[in-house]
């Protein structure tokens, strides 16, 4: 329905109260409005990436002070997954800083996927661009979701990344779908893009067939040493508008409030949940950036009357909910 950029821009332009009402109404048609899916993210291979994504501390091209670390041992990944499950996570996401995995690396990652699945957790991986046949190997290992973000609009992409193209990203997403896995695909707000770009980005997501089951919406973390360290901060209400429009445009997708929560006061996170966000990364660390601790999130959930989505129902599929 909302694949036209102008129509999506019209949603952004609504009075704030009207936009929030529409987003909350759509949200309640598809989901329990007070249940939030919890994921934990682990960097299984850190730094030394050949790409030049302007927001990322892991690029070997930037001097960010990040210490590169090789691929983690299987036992260490399993221990981290066990700890995440104890804390309430239902999905365990593994990220590796590669342009794309080599086949020998993929063999080790598939072992990790099988081991994490055996714990009763959903699995997600973000490993960069996939070559022919690699998505099938990940699917055979039991990977539930593959994350590969579009980041921003096609028009703005060249201002952020130069070492691969927008179509390269879409090509990997197509491989993931053909292998039968679910797609986790979102973007980063506050990279100097315009509202038109944010609308174009959401139109790209809506045009995927089918749209992503999981949509992480990140607020740029300004990392010293990266090209975007001095990017102008996005106005907070505009970020909430973006969450709300994402909920309307992608009604059956889980919308994840992702990176940037560490700098958000409780009231801003509350507005994001009201706008239709219903998933978060849970735990003190994302890939390389800080995240609110589990205790802080439990306190926020209690304050707002939110609860974690139960493990047996924590699937990226819509749930009917009555409008109260």
Report helix angle 103-117 to 74-86, nearest 10. Answer: 40
The token pair at 283 is: 């735990």
Annotated active-site residue in 169, 184, 185, 261: 184
Annotated active-site residue in 56, 91, 247, 272: 56
Examine the residue annotation and report whether 185 is marked as an active-site residue of this protein.
no
Report helix angle 5-12 to 16-30, nearest 10. Answer: 110
CA atoms within 13 A on the CB side of 35: 18
211: Cα separation from own chain's centroid: 14
Annotated active-site residue in 91, 177, 256, 319: 256
Examine the residue annotation and report whether 93 is marked as an active-site residue of this protein.
yes
For 4, residues 6+ apart whose C-beta sits below 8 A from its C-beta are 203
Annotated active-site residue in 3, 69, 99, 124: 124
- The rounded distance, in Å, linking the Cα atoms of 253 and 246 is 9
For 282, residues 6+ apart whose C-beta sits below 8 A from its C-beta are 38, 39, 40, 84, 87, 88, 89, 291, 294, 297
Examine the residue annotation and report whether 56 is marked as an active-site residue of this protein.
yes
Annotated active-site residue in 91, 93, 169, 261: 93
Examine the residue annotation and report whether 184 is marked as an active-site residue of this protein.
yes
Q: Which of 197, 188, 192, 264 is nearest to 232 (CA)?
A: 192
Residues classed as catalytic: 49, 53, 56, 93, 124, 184, 256
């Amino acid at each position: 329905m909302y694949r036209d950029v102008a129509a999506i821009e019209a949603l952004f332009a609504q009075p704030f109260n009207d936009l929030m009402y529409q987003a909350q109404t759509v949200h309640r048609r598809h989901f329990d409005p007070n249940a939030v899916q919890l994921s934990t993210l682990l960097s299984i291979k850190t730094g030394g990436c050949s790409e030049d994504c302007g927001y990322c501390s892991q690029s070997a091209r930037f001097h960010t002070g990040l210490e590169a670390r090789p691929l983690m041992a299987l036992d260490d990944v399993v221990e981290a997954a066990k700890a995440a499950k104890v804390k309430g996570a239902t999905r365990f996401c593994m990220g590796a800083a590669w342009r794309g995995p080599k086949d020998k690396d993929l063999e080790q990652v598939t072992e990790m996927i099988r081991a994490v699945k055996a714990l009763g957790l959903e699995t997600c991986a973000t490993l960069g661009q996939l070559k022919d046949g690699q998505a099938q190997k990940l699917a055979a290992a039991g990977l539930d979701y593959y994350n590969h973000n579009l980041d921003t609009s096609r028009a703005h992409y060249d201002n952020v990344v130069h070492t691969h193209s927008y179509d390269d990203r879409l090509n990997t997403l197509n491989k993931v779908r053909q292998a039968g896995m679910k797609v986790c695909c979102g973007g980063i707000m506050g990279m100097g893009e315009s509202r038109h770009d944010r609308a174009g980005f959401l139109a790209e997501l809506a045009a995927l067939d089918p749209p992503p089951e999981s949509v992480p919406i990140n607020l740029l973390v300004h990392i010293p040493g990266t090209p975007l360290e001095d990017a102008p901060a996005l106005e907070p209400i505009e970020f909430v508008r973006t969450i709300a429009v994402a909920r309307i445009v992608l009604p059956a997708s889980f919308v994840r409030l992702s990176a940037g929560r560490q700098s958000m006061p409780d009231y801003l996170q509350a507005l994001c949940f009201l706008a239709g966000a219903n998933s978060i990364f849970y735990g003190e660390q994302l890939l390389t950036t800080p995240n609110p601790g589990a205790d802080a999130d439990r306190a926020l959930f209690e304050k707002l009357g939110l609860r974690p989505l139960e493990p047996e129902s924590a699937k990226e599929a819509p749930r009917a909910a009555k409008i109260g």
